[in-house]
Amino acid sequence: MEEPSADSATGTASEQDILAVTDRRTGQQYELPITDDTIQAMDLRGIKVNEGDFGMMPFDPGLSNTAVCRSSVCFIDGEQGILEYSGYRIEELAEHCSYMEVCYLVLNRELPNAEQLAEFEAEVRADMVMPESVMRLQNAMDPDLHPMSMLQTSLAALAGEYPEAAEVLEPEVRRQHTMRLIAMTPVIAALGFRFRTGAGPIDIRPELSYSENFLHMMLTPTGEEPNVAPAMVKAMDALLVLHADHEQNCSTNAVRAVGSSQVNPYSAVTAGAAALHGPLHGGANQKVLEMLESIEDLADVPAFLESCQSGDKRLMGFGHRVYKNYDPRAKVIGKLAGDVVDVAGPNRMLEIAQALEKTAIEDDYFTKRKLFPNVDFYSGMIYSAMGFCPRSFTVFFAVGRMVGWLAHWEEMMADVNNRIVRPRQIYTGYPRRDFVPMDQR
């Protein structure tokens, strides 16, 4: 893995880069250095009314305007609707690269040459196994368990299988278990799918690509030869590319925060999977399908959108904390959905989705709030056309995002300035009061 360059670890402020503020409570003036168009939150602590005061803090509950790290993995311009992995536009990566190429890029910040890619794929393929103990654990679960709960449990259990992964300060240990997680996650996801659907065991096939093996392990009947449609493999590979990373989203932030305690990577990515499961985050792709299934007819679209404007319903798959324009991934996935449906035949849900999009982007409730389709709006359509049920969709998101979680985890662990995440609060509880014994309560 590439170590961050020294100058990327700490910005530098020139003489002019100063924020001059006056605290009118005291008339005091302060000069706060500006680096990378940010001020250091700790510099605010010097702003006090009385010498013994704790000092000032920024208040930013959803971290909407707080940079928590420096990162070279991914760049988003929310106003322009731009997403780049290490400088390469997502549209070009989705069209020209395999998911394995993009995994190499996300982890190393460079696209691999043919030899590097072959070596990377061989190491991943060699690790595409499921430890017996995790297999027994997964097969002991209730088949009706939500697939994301099953995935979280299995990921966490891997920490027990590889106790040496706790040596997180060793770069080679981090690299080895990063590769293991990229390799094992689709196996865990696929075998969980087979367990829930009552299909028998199956093995990966060394001659197949990563995405082909992923689909083969889910769809090939036991004992039969793999026969996955190339269009499905291409669509799955592109979806994994499009989901690979997205800077400091909720689940990646969870991985960084949990990983900052120096816990093993299996526990850190389990926290990421737990965050991703939420309907406001990765769970939205499942909710979009449930939303589309609830709209009986195209004629019901205007009334549904009105219920979103009144707050009764939420237009799932729309809106984004960062994108105030089209999510570039939604454009690529929307076209992919059209291609897949062209092959699979007319699809009522796609027609409803396209009608929702067309109506919403012309309605000032949505345009005023800059609400556009996000990555989750069309992705479920494709998974559904592949024959998967909505409860599996977020697991596919997790398979793609695993490499992003691990790239950010590595970037954090390799950062000599890394510290445990421990935010502060504004206390709103009781002031100190005398203890009340039981017989007086």
**Binding footprint of ligand SDX on the chain (CB under 6 A):** 62, 246, 249-250, 280-282, 284, 308, 314-322, 369, 371, 374-376
- Of 165 and 284, nearer to ligand SDX (C-beta) is 284
Tokens of 52: 């013994």
- Is 320 an active-site residue? yes
Q: Contact at 8 Å (CB) between 285 and 397?
A: yes
Q: Which of 281, 339, 363, 415 is catalytic?
A: 281
Count Cβ atoms below 10 Å from residue 281 Cβ, excluding itself. Answer: 17
Minimum CB distance to ligand SDX smaller for 109 or for 324: 324
Handedness of CA 394, 189, 238, 97 (dihedral sign): positive
Give the residue closest to ligand SDX by C-beta: 319
Catalytic position from the list 245, 277, 376, 408: 376
Instruction: State the minimum distance, in angstroms, from the CB of residue 65 to ligand SDX.
Output: 11
Rounded to 10 deg, the angle between the 171-197 and 393-413 helix axes is 170
Q: Specify whether the CB–CB gap between 332 and 238 falls below 8 A.
A: yes
Token pair 């706790």 is at which residue?
Answer: 166
Rounded Cα distance between 421 and 90, Å, is: 30
Contact at 8 Å (CB) between 78 and 324?
Answer: yes
Shortest distance (Å) from residue 306 CB to ligand SDX: 11
Contact present, 361 and 372 (Cβ < 8 Å): yes
Q: What does the alpha-carbon distance between residue 286 and residue 280 come to, in Å, rounded to a whole number?
A: 11
3-state secondary structure of 399: helix
Please choose, from the candidates 122, 246, 170, the residue with its C-alpha nearest in 3D space to the C-alpha of residue 1.
170
Q: At its nearest, how many Å lie between ligand SDX and the CB of residue 397?
A: 8
Shortest distance (Å) from residue 68 CB to ligand SDX: 13
Q: How far apart are CA 232 and CA 218, in angstroms?
A: 13
**Least CB distance to ligand SDX at residue 236 (A):** 17
- Residue number, 11 or 78, with CB nearest to ligand SDX: 78
Phi, psi for residue 377 in degrees, rounded to 5? -70, -40
- Pick 216 or 320: Cβ nearer ligand SDX: 320
96 is catalytic: no
If the CB atoms of residues 4 and 328 are measured against ligand SDX, the closer one turns out to be 328
CB of 238 to ligand SDX, least distance (A): 15
Looking at beta carbons only, is 281 or 335 nearer to ligand SDX?
281
380: CB partners within 8 A, 6+ apart: 285, 286, 288, 289, 317, 390, 393
* β-bridge partners, 18: 33
**Could you say which of 177, 246, 320, 408 is catalytic?**
320
Torsion of CA 60, 65, 70, 73, to 10 degrees: 120
What is the C-alpha to C-alpha distance for residues 381 and 396, in angstroms, rounded to an integer? 13
Q: Is 376 labeled as catalytic in the residue annotation?
A: yes
For the bound state, the minimum distance from the C-beta of residue 21 to ligand SDX, rounded and expressed in Å, comes to 28
- Whichever of 249 and 260 has its CB closer to ligand SDX, that residue is 249
Q: Which residues are catalytic?
A: 281, 320, 376
